[in-house]
Amino acid sequence: MAVKHIAAPLTDEAVASLRAGDRVLISGVVYTARDAAHKRMIEALDRGEALPFDVSGQVIYYVGPTPARPGQVIGSAGPTTSGRMDAYAPRLLALGLKGMIGKGYRNQEVKEAMAKHKAVYFAAVGGAGALLAKAIKAQEPVAYEDLGPEAVRKLVIEQFPAVVVNDIYGNDLYRQGVEQYREA
């Protein structure tokens, strides 16, 4: 299977072209946010305030990078467990979020919201944070700097490797993998 090159932010057409199991290289702009930042974003929405960035078309990478060493753009930047964002993701998907990068399963509500709002979930390789950081070419803080590594950051990435786990068609690579194993 060929690797697909995709650009972030994502368009509806790009999202529609992706299927669970597709290997991708993502280039463009993505934002970082983990559970503490997600909680603050939802609290801001509850107060009628704007988010720190327009999520429409965007991809959020669930990561809390380590500090950069001298001469580096960013420290180790491996994915965190996505399930911690499941309580917040459907609301952001309804606002136009098109992609999420993390590791691990998503709950049924998130998968249904992805299908409804045309978004995808990508998995990045856990434990490979130093390698993944090499795909990050620039970064700048956006919001919640008091959260340290969990602050929202804007990242410019080039050929960031990931795999589509959940697509807009209801496919789930994790479920498909188990089914294929049981059939073998």
From the candidates 8, 9, 38, 168, give the one annotated as an active-site residue: 38
Q: Could you tell me if 96 and 56 are in contact, meaning their C-beta atoms sit under 8 angstroms apart?
A: yes
Place of tokens 């917040």: 88
Written as six digits, the tokens of 125 are 């390789």
Cα–Cα distance measured from residue 92 to residue 89, given in angstroms and rounded to the nearest whole number = 5
Written as six digits, the tokens of 121 are 């979930």
Burial class (CB in 10 A: 0-12, 13-18, 19+), 124: buried
5 is catalytic: no
Cα–Cα distance measured from residue 19 to residue 33, given in angstroms and rounded to the nearest whole number = 24
Cα–Cα distance measured from residue 97 to residue 88, given in angstroms and rounded to the nearest whole number = 12
Cα–Cα distance measured from residue 25 to residue 110, given in angstroms and rounded to the nearest whole number = 23
- The catalytic residues are 38
